[in-house]
Amino acid sequence: MSSITHVTDGVVAWALAQPVPSPTLPASTVDEADVTPGVLGFVAIAFVAIAVVLLVVDMTRRVRRTRYRGEVRERIAAEREERAELDGLDERDERAPGTRGADGASGPDGPGAPPAGR
């Protein structure tokens, strides 16, 4: 703890030993008009601001498009799984008309089957 105190005291003493600038500095030799950014500075900042706005809009559009594509892929995958399940059920139901399978379900022409016109 004493070494930290010595280091802190040394830093404080060094900071206090630095020369203090004089409150009466000489007048600047540069004209005030030369210090301002002027029209060129305004144009540069405006260009950067417009570029940033356009980049943010483009990035937002790309992120939204990517998210929508992911949602569409999920829907397509769900539809494919559902179609695979239905195809699996259709294969099991392709029995002789009027017969019952092991689960007691009727064949495609049994009760509960859709009309032949569909």
Q: What is the DSSP string of 20-86?
A: PPPSSPPPPSS-HHHHS-HHHHHHHHHHHHHHHHHHHHHHHHHHHHHHHHHHHHHHHHHHHHHHHHH
b or e along 105-116 (b: 16 or more beta carbons within 10 Å of the residue's beta carbon)? ebeeeeeeeeee
Q: How far is CA 79 from the centre of its chain?
A: 26
What pTM was computed for the model?
0.41
| pLDDT tens digits along 40-68 | 999 999 999 999 999 999 999 999 999 99
- Give the range among 10-24, 39-53, 87-101 with minimum mean pLDDT: 87-101
